[in-house]
Structure 1
């Protein structure tokens, strides 16, 4: 695991050779931004000593609650090791909240399904759906506790150079004892991807959002698309 100190300080690899994250991302230049969500932006960076690109997630630090969410995300994903999960390689929590991931050259699934970045073959679509299912099985069954992602959607499914899927963004994830359900009074997730009964029960579904993504992969339509109207 790479050790990352504050933004103004150093990123250190296994040989303790310092590299600045700000330099790696051109000081978080807008042109280096890969995407942006409710928690902040993701930037591409190049680390010469590692001879590789990385994705740096810069999280907005606006509240104590956000601090707790960041700490929980680091705790959860730093323990995960699976071929279909985006690999976390470092983090920073002094002054700035930063997460450093392995860079995914083919970007997010939604960019291929809805933004016409490339046309996915049926073989590739099947591989993505199967890989995502494998990653979720690992999260739900193979750890000491069940990991509920709570925000499974096509924009959080990344792809490497061979279109192997990698589920990312664990900012809303929760650890739950096996055999129990996560219940909350605050909804977490994305409209169109959450189970309808979640609003009333407060219990997050393990599989509903996967079904939504599977339908998106099959038909190439978003779960909520105003141009098609209501049915």
Structure 2
């Protein structure tokens, strides 16, 4: 399978392209479903590449807002530990995002699902990869990118268990020199910093807090918010 060139820019797809790639969004191709859309596995014949296609739910204003954010911000980012955005589609009233396919799925499926436990070597590798992605977003790009939704279900894993951080629908751009900015509360409870919840001011530090929660999940194999009522102490 031909790898995507690092310098290749995201492209615009037609709706027909993605209908063909996903076998008309068949249930057999469904990878998962979230609050604002469904993700399908697809195949692009011209690139000889497996892809993941996120189809935004019709009528979801928040989903469309996150779609615009991803196209504006995520399409500009290039790092080995970020999921690569292959392209997008706004056609026939549909909004879709196309990403590189992650064979090992999301981190939460390995930590809390029925898969075999991750070795400590792999857990350490995943922790370093996520830290590297955050450092790039916070310090190395031309602007500071605050992700706002760092959690184990947004940490994707390629065939070699390399981290690929995804889902930039809540991300915000900030100048490096500025402190925390009021963005309106967004994110996932259990991963959000207490000071962010109380003030609504997002920052690099609130992202780092979320990273710490994920690191605890990696180390303990327990969810930050347990469905049975117990939580990892933070």
TM-score normalised over the length of structure 1 = 0.89
Distance of 2:176 and 2:10 partners within structure 1: 31
Q: Unpaired runs of 5+ in structure 2?
A: 1-8
For 1:16, the equivalent position in structure 2 comes to: none
CA distances 1:41-71 after superposition (whole Å, capped 9, x unpaired):
1110012222221001111242555434322
How many residues align? The count is 219
Secondary structure, counterpart of 1:152 in structure 2: coil
Q: Which runs of 5+ in 1 are unaligned?
A: 9-19
1:159-178 matched pairs, under 5 angstroms = 159-178=157-176
Match of 1:25 in 2: 22
Paired residue for 1:59? 56
CA contact (8 A) 2:56 2:64 kept: no
Q: How does 1:1-231 map to 2 (within 5 A)?
A: 1-8=9-16, 20-62=17-59, 66-94=63-91, 95-180=93-178, 181-184=180-183, 186-204=184-202, 205-227=206-228, 229=230
RMSD, aligned α-carbons: 1.7
Structure 1 residue ranges (4+ consecutive) displaced by more than 4 angstroms after TM superposition: 63-66
Q: For the structure 1 residues 170 and 146, does the alpha-carbon distance in structure 2 shift closer, same or farther, using more than 3 Å as the test?
A: same
Residue by residue over 1:76-131, the C-alpha shift from the partner in whole angstroms, topping out at 9 and shown as x without a partner, is 11110000000011111222111111101000000000002222100000000000
TM-score w.r.t. the length of structure 2 is: 0.88
Distance 2:88 2:27 in 1: 21
